[in-house]
Amino acid sequence: MKNINITLLPDGIKVISEKITHVKSFSLGFWFNVGSRDESVKNSGMSHFLEHMFFKGTKKRSAKKISEEIESLGGYLNAFTSKEHTCFYGRGLNAHIEKTFEVLADMVQNSVFAPKEIEKESKVVIDELYDIEDSPDELIFDKFESNTFAGNSLGMPIIGTEKNLRSFKQKDLLEYIEENYTLDRFMIVASGNIDHTDLVKFAKKYITRNFKSSSQKTRSVLLQPSKDVHVEKETQQVHYILGKPTYGYKDLRRISVAVLSHILGEGSSSRLFQKIREENGIAYQINTFLNSFFDISTFGVYLSTNEKSVFKAQKLIFEELEKIKHKKVTASELDRAKEYLVGNMLMSLEGTTNRMIRMAHQMIYFGKIIPVEETVNKIYKVTKEDIRDLSNELFGRRSLTDKFGEFEDCSLTRVILFPKNLLHKKA
């Protein structure tokens, strides 16, 4: 493709870049195809903890110096961990890409993981864990996925457990890196006003660590029957999720799920937003979601409302699911959903960071860069029949409930996070 180059170095590292001449900046990411899905119960949270620790000092730079060297040039460094990959990235003006590359290379190869820094950072991450526990709109998604994927590493929270975070030692971090941060899982991706030949030169110059050559990694999911989950918290609102697994990135039908998701609950014109918020005024937050992984996704509905309205909202949700199962969506509604998806995708690609992330995701999940036009065409090809068939597949059994504990649908997981003592009041 025009302006996109991919080089496989002799040692196995991939270098991918996209040149954009009309900008003066770049986004550079060091990607490892490793995340919480590759962990066990014993080391759950390790990938995310390492994301923090790579910023805590190398053999020649302190944590402060890592930040100062980039920020003094007007750039910044950051990182994120998902269930399937970890990315360390920097942004800056194109004149400073070599310095950013060298600092990132130093971090991922020469971090010392000083015991005192491990002990200190574990407290920071535990505070982050507590923040999630205090945020019901975040916690409920962890509970939903932990139950949807019960018994699988995919169900473990990215942040891990307090017990693990308190137990991690330097040798644990080094052993995890040795086993998981391997050449076949590592790639360098950049987007912006950069030259691909420079990136390849920097990789040869600064990537000197003897990474393990390869690691046999298998990822699989064995699904258990869904169940009803109740969580008591000190909260004023009831938070509610209804959902189930569906197609992952590797399945083309995921695009149809994305279109269905928009029709049902993405945006102010969606069916659920109009029915529950605009017509009935019983929820501030109401939306569908599609969280995707290589081989599977979770799709569902999330809302927060007061205890008196939650079951009315649930009834209305089921009514909308029934409608979309039995009656084809209109041409205008389908077209509106497609244009929304295409518009959001194209607007997101106006920034170099999102473009860099998109290229990395596609290399991880598909092994190639898919042209934007190809993705757009796939969205436009979704038909009314596709939406109806998919709705029947996902919501084939209808089950209503009017109080906690009487949910019968064996294919849908329902998670309700409610104020303490509410369950007992309802009983």
- How many Å apart are CA 231 and CA 138, to the nearest integer? 13
Catalytic position from the list 39, 51, 121, 145: 51
- How many Å apart are CA 236 and CA 354, to the nearest integer? 36
Residues paired with residue 14 on neighbouring β-strands, in sequence order? 8, 187
Radius of gyration of the chain (CA): 23
Which among 64, 69, 106, 108 has a CA at the least distance from the CA of 86?
Answer: 108
CA–chain centroid gap for 333, Å, is 28
Which among 78, 22, 34, 28 has a CA at the least distance from the CA of 55?
Answer: 78
Question: In a 10 Å sphere around its CB, with 0-12 CB exposed, 13-18 middle and 19+ buried, how is residue 18 labelled?
Answer: buried
Helix (H) or strand (E) holding 92: strand 86-93
Determine the residue type at 18. Answer: E
Does residue 203 sit in helix, strand or coil?
Answer: helix
Does 51 qualify as catalytic in the annotation?
A: yes
Which among 276, 277, 279, 388 has a CA at the least distance from the CA of 334?
Answer: 388
- Token pair recorded at residue 293: 């992984």
Question: In a 10 Å sphere around its CB, with 0-12 CB exposed, 13-18 middle and 19+ buried, how is residue 165 labelled?
Answer: buried
- How many Å apart are CA 405 and CA 13, to the nearest integer? 52
Catalytic residue ranges: 51
